[in-house]
Chain A
Amino acid sequence: MSQKYYLLRNREIPDIDHISVYLANGGYDALRKAVNEFQPEELVDLVKKSGLRGRGGAGFPTGMKWGFLPNDGRKRYLVVNSDEAEPGTYKDREIIEHNPHQLVEGIIISSYATKAREAYIYCRGEFLFGSEQLKRAVREAYEHGFLGENILGSGFSLDLWVYRGAGAYICGEESALLESLEGKRGNPRLKPPFPAIAGLYGGPTVVNNVETITNVPAIVTYGAEWYTSMGTAKSPGLKIFSVSGRVKRPDNYEIPLATPLRTLIEEYAGGMLPGRQIKAVIPGGSSVPLLNPDKLDTPLDYESVLQAGSMLGSGGCIVLDDHVCIVGATARLVKFYREESCGKCTPCREGTYWMTDVLERMEHGLGTPDDIETLLDVADNIGGKCFCPLGDASLGVLVSAMKYFRDEFEAHVFEHACPMGEKLYDTVNY
């Protein structure tokens, strides 16, 4: 499918991760335009008008977030969240590995807009190549005078650091990320105060996702009207969807918001593996409820997906087919939350253990009739009772799976075995 790319420009332009190639293709022109033609407040207005919403999962309007910074003269920080670890999501990794300069340019423009003097990229520890690419891009940007003192003669100065995490999903949660950036354990902080008021080292801080910031140079170049010409009034613009699971072409797809889920799966991702039927879709990363195939015509915008009973989240779309055991798949995802719970609060720390235990027991045919109620009861004692959103995130798939596929859970218990042979993967024969 030929298309024009605005975020994944590496798809069209080989070696755009090198500054010479990036510059030859209009790179850093948006920065020049931003500092020459806009006052910081005008840029915040531009981003507000574009309707850009945070791509880290929550979809919070970016311009509005920038507007929350108090005008009290304290030093401001911009922190970019590159801790991508939500199962099924791998869009930020492609950006930092293959189009890092667009992110760096976005960071400089966004810092200018928010009057931040220091910026950080918090890069997931597992992204070794990604962090190398980011460090090189930052070095190149310094060498060309796009970072440091008096950028392009504008009087605006900015320093940017790449900071590597060390393996912890919870550090994607913005307050845990800030703790980690301060050299601490990645336990979330109590909110409020939100980072805009008390963030990094207690200073006013904007935390934005990699994809969010990568949109900014394109919005400066092409304008807010261009951005709002795509998607819906409330969910305008472009989004990268990471498709994985039982489809022919698992990949990142950069498409306008409100593209139907069916188009993403059947046209972009090439449809299901041969001979397979779609069973369910997790549309927005592992933390969101399942959608049944009857929801395939749902437009992929924040409001429509919510109305369909799930969430757009991070745009990590995991597709399950009719050979996948729903109990096994759920067990796998809940185990992820068990592994990644930071342990600070009891319902999450203990509840995710308990649910994983029960699910794995069921999958191995050792479940008891009480187990279904136990699961729902534990879920009920986690929901809304945790210190941070990770606890609730562990419930999205589980609770929806038990609603739509309760018969499968019951079959595991009453047949004392997994009816599908405990298999998540079934084409291997060696």
Chain B
Amino acid sequence: MKPEWSQWAKEAKEQFPQANSSLLPLLHRIQQAEGWLSDETIQDVASLLGLTTQYVESVASFYSLFYRDKVGKTVIHVCVGLSCALAGSDHVMEKLEHKLGIHEGQTTPDGQYTLLEAECLAACNLAPVVQRNLRFHGPVDPAELDADAFLAGDGNEVNR
């Protein structure tokens, strides 16, 4: 357990009128710092909030954005929803898989990148859309995509 976590737990509990609501915010905050939620982290969160480990595990495992396996520094979500598929998302995925030498769902051996499928990211106007650590990029033209530049963080983040 990191020393600051008990302070974070206290803040999370105080933030909402009912302490129950503090679990997801605390998991978010710790994952933001640690990258993922290990078994040990789950136990720590349980003891910090006075919950059972099983309960915290059952909640954490329900949500796709809580990573129960170690992920890379950069997590890439390629939307494979229908509107993105109609705009070529499968080719974007292929290109990134090829570049990184991994399949969807995997992490590069150097721990830099994790490549994941996402369901509709509610950004179909930007199809095909990709999130890099939850920041939107799109439309990512599958033919023009410069995978190296994209992976290095080419700054083409869109907030629209």
- Count chain A CB atoms within 10 A of each CB in B21, B27, B89, B131 and give the residue with the most: B21
A134 to nearest B CB, angstroms? 14
**Across the interface, which residues of B come within 8 angstroms of A84, CB to CB?**
122
A240 to nearest B CB, angstroms? 12
**Across the interface, which residues of A come within 8 angstroms of B81, CB to CB?**
87, 332, 336
Task: Let me know if A324 is at the binding interface, CB within 8 A.
Answer: yes
**Across the interface, which residues of A come within 8 angstroms of B143, CB to CB?**
428-430
Q: Which residue of A93, A250, A427 is within 8 Å of B122 (Cβ)?
A: A93
Task: Let me know if A164 is at the binding interface, CB within 8 A.
Answer: yes
A338 to nearest B CB, angstroms? 10
In the complex, the answer to whether A164 meets B24 with C-beta atoms within 8 Å is yes
Give CA–CA (A145, B15) in the complex, Å.
Answer: 19
**Across the interface, which residues of B come within 8 angstroms of A318, CB to CB?**
82-83, 86, 124
In the complex, the answer to whether A163 meets B24 with C-beta atoms within 8 Å is yes
Task: Let me know if A61 is at the binding interface, CB within 8 A.
Answer: no
**Across the interface, which residues of A come within 8 angstroms of B66, CB to CB?**
166-167
Task: Let me know if B102 is at the binding interface, CB within 8 A.
Answer: no
In the complex, the answer to whether A336 meets B119 with C-beta atoms within 8 Å is yes
Task: Let me know if B142 is at the binding interface, CB within 8 A.
Answer: yes
In the complex, the answer to whether A87 meets B125 with C-beta atoms within 8 Å is no
**Across the interface, which residues of B come within 8 angstroms of A424, CB to CB?**
82, 85-86, 90
Given contacts A97-B159, A246-B86, contact A85 B20 (CB under 8 A): no
In the complex, the answer to whether A126 meets B16 with C-beta atoms within 8 Å is no
In the complex, the answer to whether B85 meets A425 with C-beta atoms within 8 Å is yes
Q: Which residue of A128, A251, A329, A429 is within 8 Å of B82 (Cβ)?
A: A329
Among B3-11, B57-65, B104-112, B148-156, the stretch in contact with A: B57-65
Task: Let me know if A245 is at the binding interface, CB within 8 A.
Answer: yes
Among A181-189, A217-225, A399-407, the stretch in contact with B: A181-189
B114 to nearest A CB, angstroms? 14
B41 to nearest A CB, angstroms? 15
| Contact mask for chain B residues 127-150; partner A; CB cutoff 8 A; 1 contact, 0 none | 100010011100000110000000
**Across the interface, which residues of A come within 8 angstroms of B88, CB to CB?**
425, 427-428
Task: Let me know if B28 is at the binding interface, CB within 8 A.
Answer: yes
Given contacts A185-B58, A244-B127, A428-B143, contact A168 B122 (CB under 8 A): no
Give CA–CA (A184, B27) in the complex, Å.
Answer: 12
**Across the interface, which residues of A come within 8 angstroms of B46, CB to CB?**
none
Given contacts A163-B24, A169-B119, A336-B120, contact A88 B82 (CB under 8 A): yes
Q: Which residue of B lies closest to A170 (CB)?
A: B62
| Contact mask for chain A residues 58-90; partner B; CB cutoff 8 A; 1 contact, 0 none | 000000000000000000000000001111111
In the complex, the answer to whether A244 meets B18 with C-beta atoms within 8 Å is no
Task: Let me know if A286 is at the binding interface, CB within 8 A.
Answer: yes
Given contacts A336-B81, A336-B119, contact A245 B86 (CB under 8 A): yes
In the complex, the answer to whether B122 meets A163 with C-beta atoms within 8 Å is no
Task: Let me know if A118 is at the binding interface, CB within 8 A.
Answer: yes
Task: Let me know if A5 is at the binding interface, CB within 8 A.
Answer: no
**Across the interface, which residues of B come within 8 angstroms of A88, CB to CB?**
82-83, 120, 124
B119 to nearest A CB, angstroms? 5
Q: List 23 A-B contacts (CB under 8 A).
A: A87-B82, A87-B83, A90-B122, A90-B123, A92-B122, A159-B17, A163-B24, A165-B63, A183-B21, A183-B22, A183-B23, A184-B59, A201-B18, A246-B86, A286-B120, A324-B86, A332-B82, A425-B87, A427-B88, A428-B88, A428-B143, A429-B143, A430-B143
The 8 closest A-B pairs by CB, nearest first: A167-B65, A166-B63, A167-B64, A244-B124, A183-B23, A244-B83, A87-B120, A128-B134
Known interface pairs A126-B118, A425-B88; 15 further A-B residue pairs with C-beta atoms within 8 A, sorted by A's residue number: A90-B125, A97-B160, A127-B122, A164-B24, A165-B24, A165-B63, A166-B63, A166-B64, A167-B65, A183-B21, A183-B59, A185-B58, A186-B63, A245-B82, A318-B82
